[in-house]
Amino acid sequence: MRFIFLQAYMKQFWSILVIILFFLFQVNAQGVQIALVKYKGGGDWYANPTSLPNLVRFCNKNTGTNIDQDIATVDIGSPEIFNYPFIHLTGHGNIIFSPAEAENLRNYLLAGGFLHISDNYGLDPYIRREMAKVFPGMEFTELPYTHPIYHQTYDFPDGLPKIHEHDNKDPRGFGIIYENKLVCFYDYECDLGDGWESPEVHGDSEEKRLEALKMGANIIQYVFQQ
């Protein structure tokens, strides 16, 4: 019985410790590192390899950030997730969170972390199912165009820009709001991640790439100012 109690105590201790370290890390947004989320299920979590490095360079050059240009990769269930105030998840296919991974992501978001999800086409039904494990009983809420995430350094009065056509639907920005705080932003039918890629990858116009990068910079700025 004493051993079981000690195990429970140590688990709680380490959970509190990583949260404390996370908040200490949040205090200094300069020189911070962001991460790409690795997940199970068969989906290509590694899609768009040039997108985050390009976004970081754009932010550092145009919005005064000092983000590490070395993008980390972190497993969704790893305690190392608490090292990064901003994590990015993308892909085209299936995604599966185990109960432990869903709990880890929930704890991360409640501790002040932020998840950006970019549907690279085909992710939608899977990410909705899995995020319901993270926040049972909660659903994505479409953010109004007046939300501050659309009005940081760059103004997007009509919400998300349309980067790739996919199903020819309007781009939509969804969020998960916990206790009046946006902890997750999900761009759907928009594909910001593709827009951040290097120009030769998709052949997007410079205008489209710039729209995507500006919106990405807004997301980063919104997260770091909370």
Q: Which are the contacts of 50, defined by CB distance < 8 A and separation ≥ 6?
A: 196, 197, 198, 201
- 57 to each of 3, 30, 51, 73, 155, how far by Cα in Å? 50, 14, 10, 18, 20
Is 195 strand, coil or helix? helix
Q: Which residue did the predictor score with more confidence, 5 or 125?
A: 125
Using N-to-C axis directions, what is the helix angle for 99-110 and 2-27, rounded to 10°? Answer: 50
Number of Cβ within a 10 Å radius of residue 18: 18
pLDDT digits (tens, 9 = 90+) for 34-76: 999 999 999 999 999 999 999 999 999 999 999 999 999 999 9
The domain limits of the chain are 2-225
Residue 23 near residue 73, CB atoms below 8 Å: no
The CATH superfamily holding the domain 2-225 is Domain of unknown function DUF4159 (3.40.50.12140)
pLDDT digits (tens, 9 = 90+) for 128-187: 999 999 999 999 999 999 999 999 999 999 999 998 877 888 999 999 999 999 999 999
Cα gap 89→197, rounded to integer Å? 15
